Amino acid sequence: MKRKLLAASSVACLMLSGAVYAQDMTVGFSQIGSESGWRAAETTVTQQQAKERGIDLKFADAQQKQENQIKAVRGFIAQGVDAILIAPVVATGWDDVLTEAKDAEIPVVLLDRQIDAPDDLYLTAVTSDQVYEGKVAGEWLAKEVGDKDCKVVELQGTTGSSPAINRKKGFEEGIASNPKITIARSQTGDFTRTKGKEVMESFIKAEGGGKDICAVYAHNDDMAVGAIQAIKEAGLKPGTDIKVVSIDAVPDIFLAMEAGEANATVELTPNMAGPAFDALAKFKADGTAPPKWIQTESKLYTQADDPKAVYEAKKGLGY
């Protein structure tokens, strides 16, 4: 019985390994986990991008633990993959395992976050520029309001988190060109829908029932969706009476845009792997090293960009 089982499983194994050798590049991907919709979408898009290029992607979910990520990367090295992608859970503690990868001559690309390590230990890092994201949102608003007076309320991300700090800074840079715009109130909504709604309700009460507010800027779409709810409950029309601009470009905000309730969003693209694979392909082909930082596009979407179609394209990605 046992022998039969062994024989059967070894046949199955041979079939599996046959499929593996058909492709020309094997890449290991150590993902943090699936803590947010965006993270899940990043995983889906990475797998799609690998498939398009005929890359055999080895995926390891670290369940939010660095020790699991280190284990996975060491496993990839032992396996002899051609390249490794890491979305690092924390910034520290990578020197040893990256040195090991370097000794094995396996290029490493960081996705979505930077780390505290000498930059000769990795090939490149693919991330967005959070300050620039805020700036794109600010510049859109500066153009949109023209020479009318405009009081803006701001829903910040989690206090002290780097996206909250950077997206605030960028937005202020973006609206600086238009002196008519002032930020009247700014408070944290913790990146969540419920807090976004609560804080927006208090803003509306504080600003004469919302009549004085011309726009709301939210550091992410979830808070914007909460704010839209609060605006509607106060008897005002979101998107018309109070303009709504936010960042991330998750599917739900496109539904709001389709309904005319949100005005603009700046995309934090889940496609970090595409540019990484391109850089790796070039590096493997003729040894040209990419720059140490590849900035992803921060694309602006407005109601004119066919939000329904974008929603349809995004909803299957696992957000």
24 makes contact with other proteins (CB under 8 A): no
State both tokens at 121. Answer: 């230990």
User: Which value, to the nearest 10 degrees, does the dihedral of the CA atoms of residues 68, 72, 78, 80 take?
Assistant: -170
Window 72-101: residues binding other proteins (CB under 8 A)? 72, 74-76, 78-80, 90-93, 95-96
Sorted by sequence, the CB contacts under 8 Å of residue 277 that are 6+ apart come out as 27, 49, 50, 53, 55
Minimum CB–partner distance for residue 112 and other proteins (Å): 17
Task: Give least dist CB 156 to other proteins, A.
Answer: 19
Query: What is the H or E stretch that residue 241 is in?
Result: none
**Binding residue for other proteins, selected from 6, 8, 259, 309, defined by CB under 8 A:** 6
Give the one residue of 44, 66, 114, 302 binding other proteins; rule: CB under 8 A: 66
Least separation in angstroms between CB 247 and other proteins: 25
Our CA angle for 186, 187, 189, nearest 5°, is 135
| CB 49, min distance to other proteins, A | 15
Q: CB-wise, 11 or 289, nearer to other proteins? A: 11
Q: Tell me the closest approach of the beta carbon of residue 80 to other proteins, in angstroms.
A: 7
Nearer of residues 34 and 303 to other proteins, judged by Cβ: 34
Spatial CA neighbour of 273 closest among 250, 288, 294, 290? 294
Contact 282, 288 (CB under 8 A): yes
* Token pair 């909504």 in the structure block, residue: 189
Please, which residue, 2 or 285, has the CB nearer to other proteins? 2
Alpha helices in 146-268, H assignment, sequence order: 162-175, 193-206, 221-233, 251-258
Residues that bind other proteins (CB under 8 A): 6, 9-10, 13, 16-17, 28, 56-63, 65-68, 70-72, 74-76, 78-80, 90-93, 95-96, 104, 116
